[in-house]
Each structure stands twice: as structure tokens, then as C-alpha cells.
Amino acid sequence: MKSLLLIFLGGGLGSVMRFSLSKWISSLHSHHFPWGTLVVNVVACFALGWIIGLADHKHIISPSARLFWTVGFCGGFSTFSTFSNETLYLLQSGFTASLVLYITLSLLLCVAAVFGGLYLGEHL
């Protein structure tokens, strides 16, 4: 039961942070490219890697805190369903260059962010 509460609380916090950061980033421009979701996904991937690095390699985060931050917070903060919806929108709207750029940047930056966070968590 404690695990479910940790996941619930972390997920709620992550969701509020996702909404707030995405809206703020999106308000900085008027282009159809979904910068807010891209930034959130990269930050979520970096945070996930960093937390896992701190928990699994440095052993400075308890299993309960790891659960709160990885499954809860990062799960609520991640926006892959929004990414998928925005990808479909770009495809259906004929924004081919933005579509290719968005998919490419999302994959490359998010994988690199997980690696960077993991590296930082292991070596800090």
C-alpha cells in the first residue's frame, strides 16, 4: 500500500510539473512545432537516468524514494502519449519537415538525456 501511495503522489507532482513546464515553454513561441512536449520529454529522460544512477550506483536514494521519483514522478512527468498525438497532428497537417525533426530530436535527445542523467548519477 505504501508503494501505491508513493507512486500516486509522485505521479501527481510529475503531472502538474509536466503541464506547467510544457505550457510555459509553449508560451515562448507561436510556431506549430511542439517545443513544450519535446523539452518535457528530454527533461524527464534526463531525470530518470539521473535518479537511477543515484539509486543504483551511488546508493543514496532509498528504494521507496526511487519508486516515488522513477515510477511516480517521471511516469507522470513523461509525455509520450502527447508526443504520439502531436506526431500524428504534424503528419495529418502536412508539416513533414517538422514531423521528421520532431521524431528525430525526440529520440536522439531523450536517449542522450537518459544516458547523461545516468552518467551524472553514477559519477557525481
Range of the domain at 25: 2-123
If you average pLDDT over residues 107-112, what whole number do you get?
A: 96
pLDDT grade, residue 110 (50/70/90)?
Answer: very high
User: At 88, phi and psi to the nearest 5?
Assistant: -65, -40
Q: Give the integer Cα–Cα distance in Å for 56 and 40.
A: 24
Q: What is the pLDDT of residues 7-58, one digit of tens each?
A: 999 999 999 999 999 999 999 998 889 999 999 999 999 999 999 999 988 8
User: Residue 69: pLDDT above 90?
Assistant: yes
What pLDDT score was predicted for residue 82? 82
Provide the pLDDT for residue 81: 79
The answer, yes or no, to whether residue 64 has pLDDT greater than 90, is yes
Number of domains in the chain: 1
pLDDT band at 88 (very low <50, low <70, confident <90, very high): very high
Q: Positive or negative CA dihedral for 56, 62, 66, 69?
A: negative
Average pLDDT of the chain? 93
